[in-house]
Amino acid sequence: PRNTRRGDAGALVVAGLDVRDIAAEFGTPVYVLDEDDLRSRCRDFRAAFPNEDVYYAGKAFLCRAVVRMIAEEGMFLDVCSGGELAVALAGGMPPERIGFHGNNKSVAELRRALDAGVGRIIVDSFAEIDRLTALARERGVRPRVLLRVTVGVEAHTHEFIATAHEDQKFGFSLAGGAAITAALRILDEDVLELRGLHSHIGSQIFDTSGFEVSARRVLTLQAQIRDARGVELPELDLGGGFGIAYTTQDNPSTPEELAKRLRKIVDSECAAERLAVPHLSIEPGRAIVGPAVFTLYEVGTVKSVLIGTGNDPADGRRAYVSVDGGMSDNIRTALYDASYSATLASRASVAEPVLARVVGKHCESGDIVVKDEFLPADVQPGDLVAVPGTGAYCRSMASNYNHVPRPPVVAVRNGQARLIVRRETEEDLLALDVE
Ligand code: LLP
């Protein structure tokens, strides 16, 4: 996070608080959210996209307190389930600033979204057009919808988080004409108001050429719709997916750079197609909350393990530093082969750095939080280790594997720490067993 430094005895200090005090008060593992960092990232995006709507993608991390923060910062909010919608409303997000996503929204979810008056419903299938039409008639409302378009872009990211190539579940394909058919059908439906097109090509993307190709292709569709029906859709949502730096190897674009590039391609494509420039929106999740959080763990055991057979002089050793959480609070390393870094947080050390792997307490060898990191050779039980960049898709994808209760989230600001999501307890877990 932005507001970290090293304080007394080399311990990490965030927003004026020593991590040792945070650990003493809230226990470990704990997700520590630097609130000013989160807010400043909202402001950076809003400043770079002043005439656009910036939807925070709530799937990255959502709780009532964060909804309040982003609402105060003038953000919009993307939700993709009834549960996320419930948190958004409970946190006080004005419904007209909510966009409701999902490839398989249930009738109950759609009804709830209509009754709440969400601002946009992002329609994802023909079946959904039918459901929504019937519900809108039943409720006597005329929802504003965007059409999720599959633009056929191969985003350079992990296969599980790329979403715009043809062979996957989201949206209406351009290829084969599903997208234009869907758009015309919605336009013919008097109870639905088609506001625009939507595309999202994937997540943790650094190469902005994917966004450019995608913008070009949706605007070509926009021109086809105009040619077919004489209407120009007033809005265009280019989705999220902007990459962040997990390690020093990553080099993300700033919001200003993104804004400049996206606007340039939209402007030139609109000029080429003789279209009015639509009102733009984007949906960053990771780029807002990812860097604002670190996970604080306590070291339990440390083992030095031989790499290889030990017969080769080049064979080295690796320190396995076990912490009190693991794949239940950060599944991303195991699931996406994601890279993180780690740092000794409770003190300084002059010991030589050794190759280390930060692992969890779960019953499988894939339970790795940080694959490769150099940590001081004297890391020992009781030390605190911080893993930065865990704001996005860590707490929100956390599990209770091995009946490990999920960690709390503590927001820190101006020397004050406040619990915004409490730690789960064993009683919470047992409470689900009915016999
Ligand atoms: N908009 C839509 C329609 C999305 O599906 C997503 C992410 C976003 C926006 C936000 O993407 P972001 O800016 O956060 O990259 N669990 C995976 C990421 C899945 C992303 C799903 N959709 C991970 O841990 O990397």
Q: Say how many Å lie between the CA of residue 320 and the centre of ligand 1.
A: 31
In tens, the pLDDT along 354-401 reads: 999 999 999 999 999 999 999 999 999 999 999 999 999 999 999 999
User: Which atom of ligand 1 has the smallest separation from the CA of 287?
Assistant: 13
Q: Which atom of ligand 1 is nearest to the CA of 331?
A: 24
Tokens standing for residue 140: 């006597």
357 vs 368: CA distance, rounded Å: 7
Q: Residue 252 corresponds to which tokens in the numbers above? A: 């993300």
Shortest-distance Cα residue to atom 8 of ligand 1:
240
| Residue bearing the CA closest to ligand 1, atom 12 | 241
Report CA(241)–ligand 1 centroid distance (Å): 6
What number is the ipTM of this complex?
0.99
pLDDT band at 268 (very low <50, low <70, confident <90, very high): very high
Q: Does residue 333 contact residue 370 with C-beta atoms inside 8 Å?
A: yes
pLDDT surpasses 70 at 92: yes
Domains in the chain, please, with CATH? 4-32+291-430 (2.40.37.10), 35-289 (3.20.20.10)
> Taking CA 84 as the corner, what is the angle to CA 83 and CA 89, rounded to the nearest 5 degrees?
100
Q: Is the pLDDT of residue 432 over 70?
A: yes
Whose structure tokens read 């943790």? Answer: 204
* Ligand 1 touching residue 285 (CB < 6 A): yes
Give 196 Cα–ligand 1 centroid separation in angstroms.
20
Q: For ligand 1, atom 23, name the residue with the nearest CA.
A: 393
**How far is it, in rounded angstroms, from Cα 303 to Cα 305?**
6
Atom 7, ligand 1: which residue's CA is nearest?
A: 203
Q: What is the mean pLDDT of the chain?
A: 96
CA–CA gap between residue 48 and residue 256 (Å, rounded): 5
37-53: pLDDT as tens digits: 999 999 999 999 999 99
Strands 343-344 and 384-388: antiparallel
Please give the pLDDT value at position 8.
Answer: 86
- Ligand 1 touching residue 195 (CB < 6 A): no
H-run or E-run covering 219: helix 209-229
Residue 58: CB within 6 Å of ligand 1? no
Q: Ligand 1 centre and the CA of 140: distance in Å?
A: 33
At residue 240, φ and ψ (nearest 5 deg) are: -120, -150
345: amino acid identity, one letter: A
The C-alpha atoms of residue 65 and residue 27 are separated, in whole angstroms, by: 20
**Per-residue pLDDT at 266 exceeds 90:** yes
Peptide bond into 388 cis (omega under 30): no
Q: What would the DSSP string read from start to end of 362-398?
A: SSSTT-EEEEEEEEETT--TT-EEEEES-TTTTGGG-
What DSSP element (H or E) covers 108?
Answer: helix 107-116
**pLDDT score recorded for residue 163:** 65
Q: Any idea which residues carry the catalytic annotation? A: 363
Whether residue 286 has its Cβ less than 6 Å from ligand 1: yes
Are 122 and 99 in contact by the 8 Å Cβ rule? The answer is yes
- pLDDT tens per residue across span 286-314: 999 999 999 999 999 999 999 887 777 77
Q: Is the CB of 241 under 6 A from ligand 1?
A: yes
Ligand 1 pocket, residue 33 CB under 6 Å: no
